[in-house]
Amino acid sequence: MMGPWQTGNNSVAIFGKIICQKLKEPIEQSVYKKIARDLANEMISNCESLNGNRSNLEKHILKTLAEEEDFDKYMIYIHNPRDHFKSFIRDEVSRYITDKFSVRVLPKMKENIKLLQQKIMKAAHESTEHVQVNSGDVGLWLKSFTQQLSDELIFSEKDLSGVKHDDVDDFNLLEDAVIKELPAIMSEISSRFNTKTFSLNLDNKDRPDELLIDHFCQCCWVQCPFCKAICTNTIENHHGDHSVPFHHINGIDGCFYRGTTNVSINICTSSVASDQSFYPIDLDDAVLWKEYRRAGGVYAQWSITADLSELPYWKWFVCRFQEDLETYYNKTFEGNGKIPDEWRKYSKQDAIESLDQYI
C-alpha cells in the first residue's frame, strides 16, 4: 500500500477520517444555528427597526408602508397585523443578510468554524490523555470525545456504530488522524457558504427571522373594536384593559355610519370626548361614545382615553388611499364621512414625521 501509514496503523487513520466525515453534518448544523443566533442579536442592536420594543418596530412598519404606498400591504397590516409584522421582519433579515453577507455574515461564520475546529482538536487531545491515564479503550476515547462536544454538536458514539474500530489502540495516532483530517472538512464546509444557499441551509426553527419573530411577537395582538389599532401591552405588563396610545381613523377598517354607505372618519380618542354615539356590532341600540364600555363584550375590555391630539399619519393615509378604501369596502367618504379639507394639507413627509410621536 502507498502512503505514510503502516498496515496496522491504516485502520486508525481510516477511523479518524470516518469520525471527521461523520462530524461534517453536525458541524454544519452547529455553524448555522450559531450564526442564526448571532445575526438575531446583532440585528437587535444594529437595526433601527429592531433595536427597540414592538411599538418602535410598528413605527418603522408604518414608515415603510407610507414609503412604499402599497395599499394591499396596508390592508394586511390592518386586518392581519401579525402576518404583516412577520413578513416585515423576514424582509429586514433577508435584506440585512444580502447587504452584509461578505462583511458580517461570512467572517462571523468563518470565525465560528475556526473556534469549533479548535474545540474539536482539544476534545481529541483531551480524550487521548483521558484514555491513557485510565488505561481505557477506544470506547472510552469516543465517550470522552463526544461528551466534550455535546454542547455544540449533535453527535454520539451511535453515529459510529457499524464502523469497525475495536482494533484501534494507538490513541496518539487517532488524535493525529482527526487533527490531520479536520481542516479539509472545515474548508469543505466553508466553501459552501454563500448568499444563495445561506437561507436554505438554516434550520426552520433556528433562523434569525424566526428568532426575531419570537422576540417581537410575544405581545398582545388584540385590536381596537372600532379602528383595529393593536394593543401595545406586552404579555408581562398586561394586567388589565387593552390600550394603545394612537388610535386609527375608524373608516380604515370599514366602519361606516349606520343607515348610510358613508365611511366613518371618527377617531376613537376624539369620539370618546364627544357627545356622539355609535352602534355596537350585533346590537340595535346606540351607545354614547363617552360610555363605550356599556356596549359590553370586547368594548368593555378596552381603555380608550379622550385625547384630541390626532396623528396626521392616518389623515394622510385616508386622503392618499381614499379611492382604494372606497372600492375595498364598497363605501364612500361622503356625508358625515366627508374628509375635512385640512386633512389634505398633510404631505407624506408630514405623515412619516408624525410617527416620531409614536413612541
C-beta neighbour count of 88 within 10 angstroms: 23
Name the residue nearer to Zn ion (CB basis): 74 or 171: 74
Figure out which of the listed residues 112, 128, 146, 233 binds Zn ion, where binding follows CB under 5 A. Answer: 233
Figure out which of the listed residues 227, 265, 272, 352 binds Zn ion, where binding follows CB under 5 A. Answer: 227
- The amino acid at residue 49 is S
Region from 46-54, 123-131, 243-251, 272-280 binding Zn ion, contact rule CB under 5 A: 243-251
Q: What's the rounded Cα separation, in Å, for the pair 295 and 224?
A: 14
Q: What's the rounded Cα separation, in Å, for the pair 163 and 144?
A: 18
Q: What's the rounded Cα separation, in Å, for the pair 24 and 45?
A: 32
Figure out which of the listed residues 247, 315, 320, 331 binds Zn ion, where binding follows CB under 5 A. Answer: 247
Beta carbons within 8 Å of 15's beta carbon, 6+ residues apart: 163, 165, 168, 174, 177
CB of 59 to Zn ion, least distance (A): 17
78 touches Zn ion (CB under 5 A): no
Figure out which of the listed residues 85, 141, 198, 226 binds Zn ion, where binding follows CB under 5 A. Answer: 226
Cell digits of residue 317 = 393615509
Cβ burial of 303 (10 Å; 0-12, 13-18, 19+) is exposed
Name the residue nearer to Zn ion (CB basis): 60 or 242: 242
Beta carbons within 8 Å of 345's beta carbon, 6+ residues apart: none
Name the residue nearer to Zn ion (CB basis): 200 or 235: 235
Name the residue nearer to Zn ion (CB basis): 220 or 287: 220
CB of 227 to Zn ion, least distance (A): 3
Are residues 298 and 286 in contact, defined by beta-carbon separation less than 8 angstroms? no
- Cβ-defined contacts of 159-163 (< 8 Å, 24+): 159/22, 160/18, 160/19, 160/22, 163/15, 163/18
224 touches Zn ion (CB under 5 A): yes
Q: What's the rounded Cα separation, in Å, for the pair 223 and 302?
A: 9
319 touches Zn ion (CB under 5 A): no
231 touches Zn ion (CB under 5 A): yes
Region from 78-86, 128-136, 190-198, 219-227 binding Zn ion, contact rule CB under 5 A: 219-227
CB of 259 to Zn ion, least distance (A): 22
317 touches Zn ion (CB under 5 A): no
Figure out which of the listed residues 18, 106, 217, 220 binds Zn ion, where binding follows CB under 5 A. Answer: 220
CB of 308 to Zn ion, least distance (A): 15
222 touches Zn ion (CB under 5 A): yes
Name the residue nearer to Zn ion (CB basis): 61 or 227: 227
54 touches Zn ion (CB under 5 A): no
Q: Using alpha carbons only, how large is the chain's radius of gyration in Å?
A: 31
With CB under 5 A as the rule, give the number of residues binding Zn ion: 11
Q: What's the rounded Cα separation, in Å, for the pair 151 and 155?
A: 10
Region from 147-155, 178-186, 224-232, 344-352 binding Zn ion, contact rule CB under 5 A: 224-232
Name the residue nearer to Zn ion (CB basis): 127 or 250: 250
Cβ burial of 67 (10 Å; 0-12, 13-18, 19+) is exposed
Grid-cell match 411599538, residue found: 55
Region from 99-107, 182-190, 237-245, 315-323 binding Zn ion, contact rule CB under 5 A: 237-245
Contacts with Zn ion, residue ranges (CB under 5 A): 220, 222, 224, 226-227, 229, 231, 233, 242, 247, 268
